[in-house]
């Protein structure tokens, strides 16, 4: 039952990992909220082809391809 001033609410402000933009969420305090699980890992650049880099995880030795951000293109040597 809500109190005299209404139900309690929460305000969450988060910063995006992708583009540093701020996002605000306002929900009742008893609502469910989805939370992403983000893991940071170390990888080695195996090859660079155009705007794509092939990386190898240094723990599991899995390889995967990721796009190279524009601001990092000058820092990567082919």
pLDDT of residue 72: 82
pLDDT of residue 24: 94
pLDDT recorded at residue 77: 66
pLDDT at 67: 92
**CA 15, chain centre distance (Å):** 9
Measuring CA to CA, which residue among 17, 15, 14 is closest to residue 38?
17
What's the pTM value of the predicted model, to 2 decimals? 0.52
pLDDT in tens, the chain (78 residues): 666 777 889 999 998 887 889 999 999 988 898 888 888 889 999 999 888 999 999 999 999 999 988 888 888 765
CB-CB contact of 12 with 25 (8 Å):
yes
In the chain, domain spans: 43-72
């Amino acid at each position: 039952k809500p109190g005299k001033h209404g139900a309690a609410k929460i305000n969450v402000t988060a910063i995006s990992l992708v583009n540093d933009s701020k996002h605000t969420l306002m929900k009742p305090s008893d609502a469910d909220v989805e939370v992403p699980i983000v893991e940071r890992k170390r990888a080695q650049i195996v090859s660079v082809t155009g705007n794509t880099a092939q990386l190898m995880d240094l723990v599991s030795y899995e390889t995967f391809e990721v796009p190279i951000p524009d601001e990092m293109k000058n820092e990567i040597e082919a």
